[in-house]
Chain A
Amino acid sequence: MKPRLASLLRAFVFALPLLMLAPLPSTLQPIPAALAGEAAPLAEDEAVEKRLIAISEELRCLVCQNESLAGSQAELANDLRREVRTLIKAGKSDAEIKEFLVSRYGDFVLYRPPVKSTTLLLWAGPGLLLLIGLFALFRYLRRRNAAIATTPLSADEARRAEALLNSGTAERKQP
């Protein structure tokens, strides 16, 4: 049963390129006009569209909050992209466009929120955690170094260690 299945599979894999070749002649036929119309260019103006994408990648879609405005298919994202497009065509700067959205939806739309008193912890937090970690590491290492340095062997311990080392070498010599 199993070998037969394997040979069937192999035959299928070998036949695959042939299967892919088969419909080729039909794809060479001219595409009907109605179908071609469906893939209409997304934008009349490529420069505007490039700027739109650059700006909207920095902005959060409010409906699907883990998506950028550039990538979201939400209805509102569509509307906001249309707004941004209008503003670009009206000659507004990137900062002005962002301000337009921030004044309506708040700093939340910016993936890079501005540094102010409410966002200070957000910006400084990782650095602060790093400092705390470095401090803890430094303290731990210093304490350990101190512990190693301050425990020399007593005379008795030194003698016993010596004896053990000697006996070890003696044993190894024996056989």
Chain B
Amino acid sequence: MNRFAWPLVGFVVLVVLLGVGLTLNPRDVPSPLVGKPAPAFTLKQLGDAGKTFSPEEMRGKVWLLNVWASWCVTCRQEHPVLVDFARTQSVPLVGLNYKELRGDAAVDMSRVDAATEESEARERATRWLAQRGDPYALTALDLDGRVGIDYGVYGVPETYVIDKAGIIRMKHTGPITPDVLSGKILPLVAELSK
């Protein structure tokens, strides 16, 4: 019995480790930005071309920053949850439209100049929101994805919960499901809003 005991124990430990490994999501990379101030930026708004948005304006409020794009298929999946969130919650949801044109593999960027890029991005994003409902208090346009890099965006959609002092308190990668919303985001928002 003793002769087989240790290999058996080793085997069981290995199986348990591999089993746990299967349940982990390798795409879920912990963000070093959690607990740090939200990086500053100034970007043009989607609705009003003359207006800009910067996170500074949200000081004193708990708010959500949701990174999206019209070419992002998963964003379509999470969108109804966001629309529902905007209808029932008082916390502002700000959209960060990420590389509306450049991120779309179907668009040949060599044929698009800077001016057309902006106008086309506006048109595409506006149409998308018109079709699916607009849950955003406002949407900022990150045409070249430079702000996305500062926020450590590596896939769309991503969502940040930012507190009254402008500190990022949570980052969620991937679509917000009703479970994620009620289980993680809403409790945190409630606690931060106190």
Contact = CB atoms under 8 A, between A and B. Distances in A.
B154 interface: yes
Given A62-B154, A63-B154, A80-B149, A103 B32 contact: yes
Contacts of B102: 75
A94 B146 CA distance: 20
A106 B149 contact: no
B6 to A, nearest CB: 8
B154 A76 contact: yes
B155 A63 contact: yes
A79 interface: yes
B145 interface: yes
Contact of B29 (A75, A80, A103, A106): A106
A79 B26 contact: no
B138 interface: no
A104 interface: yes
Contacts of A102: 32
A96 interface: no
B31 A106 contact: yes
A105 B32 contact: yes
A129 B27 CA distance: 28
Interface of A: 62-63, 65, 75-76, 79-80, 83, 102-108
B103 A105 contact: no
B145 A104 contact: no
Given A62-B29, A65-B26, A75-B103, A104 B155 contact: no
Contact of A105 (B99, B145, B154): B154
Decide if the interface of chain B is mainly helix, strand, loop or mixed. loop
B29 A105 contact: yes
Decide if the interface of chain A is mainly helix, strand, loop or mixed. helix
The 5 residue pairs across chains A and B that have the minimum distance between CB atoms: A62-B154, A104-B152, A106-B32, A108-B29, A105-B152
Interface of B: 26-27, 29-33, 99, 102-103, 105, 145, 149-152, 154-155
A79 B143 CA distance: 12
A172 B107 CA distance: 92
A97 B105 CA distance: 28
A104 B151 contact: yes
B96 to A, nearest CB: 15
B30 to A, nearest CB: 6
Nearest to A118: B30
29 contacts: A62-B29, A62-B154, A62-B155, A63-B154, A65-B26, A65-B27, A75-B99, A75-B103, A75-B105, A76-B155, A79-B149, A80-B149, A83-B149, A102-B32, A103-B32, A103-B33, A104-B33, A104-B149, A104-B151, A104-B152, A105-B29, A105-B32, A105-B154, A106-B30, A106-B32, A106-B152, A107-B32, A108-B29, A108-B30
A92 to B, nearest CB: 15
